A and B are shown apart, each in its own frame.
Chain A
Amino acid sequence: MLKVSGVHTFYGAIEALKGVDIEIASGEIVSLIGANGAGKSTLLMTICGNPRARMGRVLFEGEDITGLPTYEIVRRGIAQSPEGRRIFPRMSVLENLQMGSITAKPGSFANELERVLTLFPRLKERIGQRAGTMSGGEQQMLAIGRALMSQPRLLLLDEPSLGLAPLVVKQIFQAVKDINREQKMTVFMVEQNAFHALKLAHRGYVMVNGKVTMSGTGAELLANEEVRTAYLEGGH
Chain B
Amino acid sequence: MTALSVSSPRSIAWPAILKEAAITAFVALLLTVPLVGLRTVDRPTGLGLETRWAEVAAAVGLVFLGRLGLCLIRDGQPTVVLVLAAAATAAGFLIQMPTEALRVILIAGGAIIAIRAAIAIRTGRSKLSQAERDQRMDRIAAKVQHASRWLGPIAVVVALAFPMTPLADRQLLDIGILLLTYIMLGWGLNIVVGLAGLLDLGYVAFYAVGAYSYALLAHYFGLSFWVCLPLAGLLAAGSGVLLGFPVLRLRGDYFAIVTLGFGEIIRIILVNWYQFTGGPNGISGIPRPSFFGVADFVRSPPEGTLAFHEMFGLEFSPLHRIVFLYYLILVLALVVNVFTLRIRKLPLGRAWEALREDDIACASLGINRTNMKLAAFAIAAMFGGFAGSFFATRQGFISPESFTFIESAIILAIVVLGGMGSQIGVVVATLLVIGLPEAFRELADYRMLAFGMGMVLIMLWRPRGLLAHRDPTILLYGRNGKGAGGAAAGTAAAGGQGIAGGRAK
Contact = CB atoms under 8 A, between A and B. Distances in A.
Interface in B453-505: 470, 472-477, 485, 488-489, 492-493, 495-497, 499-500, 503-504
A74 B366 contact: yes
Contacts of A87: 358, 361
Contact of A117 (B362, B364, B477, B489): B489
Contact of B489 (A48, A99, A113, A150): A113
Interface in A130-150: 130, 146-147, 150
Contact of A94 (B367, B470, B474, B485): B474
Interface string B328-371: 00000000000000000001001101100110111111111100
B488 A70 contact: no
Contacts of B353: 88, 90-91
B372 to A, nearest CB: 10
B365 A100 contact: yes
B366 A102 contact: yes
Contacts of A127: 476, 488, 492
Chain A, interface size: which category?
35 or more
Contacts of A106: 500, 503-504
Q: Interface SS of chain B: helix, strand, loop or mixed?
A: helix
Contacts of B485: 124-125
B496 to A, nearest CB: 3
B477 A102 contact: no
Interface of A: 48, 50, 69-71, 73-75, 79-80, 82, 86-92, 94-95, 98-103, 106-110, 113-114, 117, 124-125, 127-128, 130, 146-147, 150
Contact of A99 (B350, B475, B492): B350
A164 B350 CA distance: 29
Contacts of B500: 106-109
Which 8 pairs between the two chains have the least Cβ-Cβ distance?
Answer: A74-B366, A109-B496, A103-B366, A92-B472, A86-B361, A110-B493, A88-B357, A71-B368
Interface string B417-439: 00000000000000000000000
Contact of B364 (A69, A70, A94, A110): A70
Contacts of A110: 492-493, 496-497
B444 to A, nearest CB: 42
Contacts of A88: 353-354, 357-358, 361
A86 B354 CA distance: 11
A140 to B, nearest CB: 13
Contacts of B365: 74, 79, 99-100, 102-103, 146-147, 150
A147 B365 CA distance: 7
A178 to B, nearest CB: 19
A50 B489 contact: no
Given A94-B474, A98-B350, A82 B364 contact: yes
Contacts of A109: 493, 496-497, 499-500
Interface in B113-142: none
Nearest to B493: A110
Given A88-B357, A99-B362, A127-B476, 4 more contacts: A87-B361, A91-B354, A106-B504, A113-B496
B483 to A, nearest CB: 9
14 contacts: A50-B363, A70-B364, A70-B366, A71-B369, A73-B366, A88-B354, A95-B474, A99-B350, A101-B496, A103-B367, A109-B497, A113-B489, A124-B485, A150-B366
Contacts of B495: 94, 98
A46 B226 CA distance: 52
B497 to A, nearest CB: 7
Contacts of B366: 70-71, 73-75, 79, 102-103, 150
A150 to B, nearest CB: 6
Contacts of B350: 95, 98-99, 102
A185 B407 CA distance: 54
A90 B492 CA distance: 18
